[in-house]
Amino acid sequence: MKDINDARENPFFRRQELIGLLIFAALILVVFPAFLDTFRLNLVGKYLTYAFVTVGLVICWGYGGILSLGQGIFFGLGGYCMAMFLKLEASSVANTKIQSTPGIPDFMDWNQLTALPWFWKPFHSLPASVIAVIVVPTAFAFVIGAAMFKRRVGGVYFAIITQAVALILSILIVGQQGYTGGINGITDLRTLLGWDIRTDHAKFILYFVNCLLLLGAILLTQYVTKSKLGRILVAMREKEDRVRFSGYSVADFKIFAFCFAAALSAVGGAMFTLQVGFMSPSFVGITPSIEMVIYTAVGGRMSILGSVYGALIVNFAKTTLSESFPELWLFGLGALFIAVVLVIPDGLAGMLSHYIAPYLGKLKPASDAVNGKSPLNQTPAE
């Protein structure tokens, strides 16, 4: 553990990190809005909602060593909570008068439901829905986490279980289509308290709301990594038993890391629903959950900003490759992933600190070069 700096050398931001964050903030708040048209900006906004998940994965996986292949669960639950509110608002009696039961969402009517199910009722209220966006996924993560970590289930077993839960949840949503919209998802969302979220102007505003929330999430995560808690997580990842024998409750810390990642993912999911205008079970299942892990791996699982860039770059590649080569793009994307894992296992951030930072260090005072070897750049021993 000699690499863990003590408090004096572990300020909230090292200079490099602060510069990195300022560059990133300038990029998303100034450069993108200035140079991208509304369509592209909205796409970037969509990518940035995945960044909430990857930032959470940095804590959970990078720091805590808990590989979760089920982050789509929380992204999806957060998104569904928001979608339920928006759907109820879009299903006013006036909008749905052609249905056999006006005033309930259209898919319920198609499935012969004649009244709103009880668990939909709280979503008439925006404050309740916003609370649900955070609380429902976090509570669910707590249940999974408590059930697993208290029994000392970890590593690959935990990853498999999260994957199974993701699959179960997506099957449940698809199967209960009268209550959830089934495989179509919850579509045709229109307004937020009367404010039309489909207009270009609204998308522009939502983009900035999303950016500010993401910057907030990054700061919060930065705080966690710099706190004693962050160091315990790293210690736990490296030698779980020693931490346990030192008197820490390993399970509680793991549950915290998992719930923290879940809460961030849920915020991302809610912002996704707002910006894209619908939610579907294809965000709950295994594929999106694994994709989120890939974004983090590409960006660098030990680097908060790296993981955000990972989400941006992979999704940007996905969009451009699929626009240019509609029949071949998946191969290109696959090659990209294989290349990243083979060439730069620590992701782009790892590449930066291994290959580029040393050269930068030579140009700068020696103290920065020393800081270049902080725990952020260490590869987890897995």
Partner 1 sequence: MSSNSGNSDGFSRRHILSGLAAAPALGLLGRPAWAQASVNTTGLAVTDTEVTVGILHSVTGTMAISETGSVEAEKLAIDQINAQGGVLGRKIKFIQEDGASDWPTFAEKAKKLLVNDKCAAVFGCWTSASRKAVLPVFEQYNGMLYYPTFYEGLEQSKNVIYTGQEATQQIIAGLNWVAKEKGAKTFYLLGSDYIWPRTSNKIARKHIENVLKTKVVGEEYFPLGHTQFNSVINKIKLTKPDVIYAIIVGGSNVAFYKQLKAAGIDLSKQTLLTISVTEDEIDGIGGENIAGAYACMKYFQSLDNPNNKAFVSAFHKMWGDKTVIGDVTQAAYLGPWLWKLTVEKAGSFDIDKVAAASPGVEFKGAPEGYVRIHENHHLWSKTRVGRARTDGQYDVIYETADLVEPDPFPKGYQ
Closer Cβ to partner 1, 51 or 232, answer by number: 51
Helix, strand, or coil (residue 199): coil
Among 319, 336, 354, 380, interactor with partner 1 by CB under 8 A: 319
Closer Cβ to partner 1, 74 or 256, answer by number: 74
The answer to whether residue 111 forms part of the interface with partner 1 (CB under 8 A) is yes
Partner residues linked to 186 by β-bridges: 279
Pick from 304, 275, 215: nearest CA to 30: 215
Residues 165-224 that bind partner 1 (CB under 8 A): 171, 174-175, 177, 182-185, 187-190, 198
Q: Give the per-residue contact string, 145-174, with partner 1 (x = CB under 8 A; - = no).
A: --------------------------x--x
Rounded Cα–Cα distance for residues 74 and 269 (Å): 8
Among 7, 34, 98, 193, interactor with partner 1 by CB under 8 A: 98
Find out whether 90 and 190 touch, Cβ atoms under 8 Å.
yes
Amino acid at 84: M
Rounded Cα–Cα distance for residues 298 and 159 (Å): 19
Among 207, 283, 295, 309, interactor with partner 1 by CB under 8 A: 283
Q: Residue 280 Cβ, how far from partner 1 at the closest point, in Å?
A: 5
Say how many C-beta atoms besides its own lie within 10 A of residue 200's C-beta: 12
What's phi and psi for 245, nearest 5 deg? -70, -20
Show Cβ contacts of residue 81 under 8 Å, excluding neighbours closer than 6 positions.
123, 129, 132, 133, 136, 137, 266, 270
The answer to whether residue 349 forms part of the interface with partner 1 (CB under 8 A) is no
Return the sign of the alpha-carbon dihedral for residues 302, 164, 275, 119.
Answer: negative
Q: Residue 381 Cβ, how far from partner 1 at the closest point, in Å?
A: 36
Find out whether 288 and 265 touch, Cβ atoms under 8 Å.
no
Among 7, 34, 35, 39, interactor with partner 1 by CB under 8 A: 39
The site for partner 1 (CB under 8 A) is made up of 37-39, 42-43, 46, 98, 100, 107, 110-112, 171, 174-175, 177, 182-185, 187-190, 198, 276-278, 280, 282-283, 319, 322-323, 326-327, 329-330
